[in-house]
């Protein structure tokens, strides 16, 4: 793909209204905090079009600028945008035919195939590679701020792509490790120091990634409801069971026991390191990618958890 192909195109509102049959309810793919997302057709190309709420100008601009600059196989591709001044702000993305990881783990439609263990680890690894690009390869680094399973989209072959960059922030520069911002994350996924004081760093994304990895292994929601109606926090539940080494009790029942015990154990331990209370004790994303690469390829040697000793 050359630079001309990846540069976002400018669309008129009429082109995007035509593409979605005037934003017909039948074309609606989902609705998030900043607007509705529709499936559309631009000539032969199938696209997803997000229509931002009129008062979300900043989120629109942040996402447009970030995705205009960030190109990676594990980051959703921005095809173009429409900004006609005051009213219409829309982003056009490559359509992800398999929807989001959340659809698979928590809201499977009838007939949707359950994800097997190998596919779950492939998705976890690819999402981690997208995050590694943001944290370690982008200059300056980018903090995503909204890593959760509805923002991990799945392309053909379950290739994972990070999406929703509306809150993304350029990482600290000048040797600093964190910045202070207003809390605007997702409850259940946000790091405790970010919720408490607005302290944000790449390690806030690592915490959120750890919660996603717990969801991938257990099939449980970040914040769920237990049978007696009590609110159940996945991180707290997992911490107790991991401490007692009750790994097999944590496996998603929909895996029906089809997972490698060692692989599950190591994935859960990595997730547990990511959700460490203290940000400095959480692993760097490159370490997470290295361990998940070994787990995804079925190699469970002692090196796999070398990062455990550094915490």
Q: What's CA 294's distance to the chain center, in Å?
A: 21
CA-CA distance, 260 to 41, in Å (whole number)? Answer: 42
93 or 259: CB nearest ligand ATP: 93
Cα–Cα separations (whole angstroms), residue 99 to 39, 91, 108, 150, 177: 11, 17, 10, 9, 34
Return the residue nearest ligand ATP (CB atom).
32
95 near ligand ATP (CB under 6 A): yes
Q: How far is residue 186's CA from residue 145's CA, in Å, rounded to a whole number?
A: 9
Q: Which of residues 22-51 bind ligand ATP (CB under 6 A)?
A: 29-34, 37, 48, 50
Minimal distance, residue 92 CB to ligand ATP, in Å: 9
> What is the C-alpha separation between 144 and 202, in angstroms, rounded?
8
Pairing outcome for strands 169-170 and 35-42: unpaired
- The reply on whether position 252 binds ligand ATP by CB under 6 A is no
Angstrom distance (rounded) from CA 166 to CA 63:
5
Q: Residue from 82, 90, 101, 153 that binds ligand ATP (CB under 6 A)?
A: 153
Residue among 96 and 115 whose Cβ is closer to ligand ATP: 96
Whole-number Å distance between alpha carbons of 110 and 32: 22
Pairing label, strands 9-10, 78-83: parallel
| Crossing angle between the packed helical segments 202-218 and 234-243, to the nearest 10 degrees | 70
Least Å distance between CB 267 and ligand ATP?
24
216 neighbors 195 (Cβ within 8 angstroms) = no
Per CB under 6 A, contacts with ligand ATP among 98-117 are: 99-100
Least Cβ distance, residue 309 to ligand ATP (angstroms): 35
Q: Least Å distance between CB 94 and ligand ATP?
A: 6
Pairing status of strand 152-154 against strand 199-200: unpaired
169 is in an annotated binding site: no
Window contacting ligand ATP (CB under 6 A); options: 60-68, 90-98, 173-181, 296-304: 90-98
Shortest distance, position 47 Cβ to ligand ATP, whole Å: 8
Among 19, 66, 76, 123, binds ligand ATP (CB under 6 A): 76
Least gap, CB of 241 to ligand ATP (angstroms) = 28
**Exposed, middle or buried, 86 (CB in 10 Å: 0-12/13-18/19+)?**
exposed
Q: Does 223 bind ligand ATP (CB under 6 A)?
A: no
Residues in touch with ligand ATP (CB under 6 A): 29-34, 37, 48, 50, 76, 93, 95-96, 99-100, 146, 150-151, 153, 163-164
**Binding annotation for ATP:** 50
**Binding annotation:** 50
């Amino acid at each position: 793909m050359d630079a001309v192909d990846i540069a976002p195109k400018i669309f008129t509102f009429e082109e995007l209204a035509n593409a979605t049959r005037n934003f017909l309810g039948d074309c609606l793919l989902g609705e998030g905090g900043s607007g509705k997302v529709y499936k559309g057709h631009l000539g032969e190309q199938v696209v997803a079009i997000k229509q931002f709420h009129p008062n979300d100008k900043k989120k629109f601009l942040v996402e447009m600028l970030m995705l205009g600059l960030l190109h990676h196989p594990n980051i959703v591709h921005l095809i173009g945008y429409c900004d006609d001044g005051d009213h219409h702000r829309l982003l056009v993305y490559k359509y992800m035919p398999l929807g989001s990881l959340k659809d698979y783990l928590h809201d499977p439609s009838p007939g949707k195939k359950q994800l097997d263990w190998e596919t779950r680890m492939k998705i976890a690894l690819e999402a981690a590679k997208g995050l590694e690009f943001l944290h370690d390869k982008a200059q300056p680094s980018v903090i995503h701020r909204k890593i959760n399973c509805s923002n991990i989209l799945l392309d053909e072959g379950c290739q994972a792509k990070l999406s929703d960059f509306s809150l993304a922030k350029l990482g600290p520069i000048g040797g600093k490790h964190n910045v202070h911002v207003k809390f605007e994350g997702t409850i259940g996924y946000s790091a405790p120091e970010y919720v408490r004081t607005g302290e944000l760093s790449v390690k806030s994304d690592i915490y959120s990634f750890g919660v996603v990895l717990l969801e991938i292994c257990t099939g449980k929601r970040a914040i769920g409801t237990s049978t007696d109606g009590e609110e159940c926090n996945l991180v707290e539940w997992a911490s107790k069971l991991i401490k007692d080494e009750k790994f097999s009790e944590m496996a998603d029942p929909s895996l029906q026991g089809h997972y490698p015990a060692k692989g599950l154990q190591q994935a859960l331990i990595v997730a547990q390191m990511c959700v460490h209370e203290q940000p400095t004790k959480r692993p760097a994303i490159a370490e997470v990618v290295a361990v998940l690469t070994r787990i995804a390829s079925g190699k469970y040697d002692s090196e796999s958890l070398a990062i455990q000793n550094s915490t």
